[in-house]
Amino acid sequence: MSAALTSACTAAPATTRPPYTAAGTAPVIAPGEPGEPARTLAPNEAATAVPAPTANAADVRFVRDMVIHHRQAIDMSLLAPTRASSGALKRLAARIEDVQGPEIAMMAGWLREQGQQVPDHHTAHQGMPGMATPAQLEQLRAATGTAFDRLYISLMTAHHQGAITMAAKVIAAGAHPKVREIAEDISVTQTAELHRMARLAPPARD
């Protein structure tokens, strides 16, 4: 290698890799109104262009009614440990308590966030789908053994069907994404429990 070339190589400044910079950030997608497409927001729009979700009357009515609805399901299920004859039915009743108790707390919290009153435990429920009447509840409290199992399954089946009807209505008419999520979860969970209750139902009496 010539002296000139050696000198040039020696004098050449060392090159360094430039610091890494991200090419960009992930796009922010703003959901459209019902029937409208979503759109991609520019970075300077993202913080302000997505409005906070707003509840409508259907959302509030559904959540208030479902708090009352769930409370009755728990009241009926609390009878099972001392009155039911079927171990599987007792386990189903315990599951209903375990699932619906936290759902009541979540829905009550949502109502408070919206500035709405949480309904009292004994709020009237005339016309609410699937609710047992006071006379039916008294009959359930008086029943034991297989008679309890049969009546519990009958009343809880109607109760779950009513809840699924209520969920379908708010999915169609509501506006708040959290309420839609609650309604969808209730529909899926209670549909599965309806199938389970159909398998647990004691044979009809002659």
Give tens-digit pLDDT for 70-111.
999 999 999 999 999 999 999 999 999 999 999 999 999 999
Strand (E) or helix (H) holding 41: strand 39-41
Residue 107 in domain = yes
Give the per-residue pLDDT at 13: 46
On average, the pLDDT of the chain sits at: 83
Residue 49 in domain = no
Residue 70 in domain = yes
Write the burial class of residue 148 (CB in 10 Å: 0-12 exposed, 13-18 middle, 19+ buried): buried
User: How far is the C-alpha of 23 from the C-alpha of 33, rounded, in Å?
Assistant: 31
> What is the residue range of 62's domain?
57-128+145-200
Query: How far, CA to CA in Å, does 152 sit from each of 16, 89, 115, 134, 204?
Result: 76, 9, 36, 14, 13
Give tens-digit pLDDT for 146-202.
999 999 999 999 999 999 999 999 999 999 999 999 999 999 999 999 999 999 988
Q: Which two tokens stand for residue 56?
A: 């409508």
Q: Which two tokens stand for residue 1?
A: 């290698």
**Number of domains comprising the chain:** 1
Residue 1 in domain = no
Give the per-residue pLDDT at 27: 58
What's 80's domain CATH number?
1.20.1260.10
Give the per-residue pLDDT at 174: 97
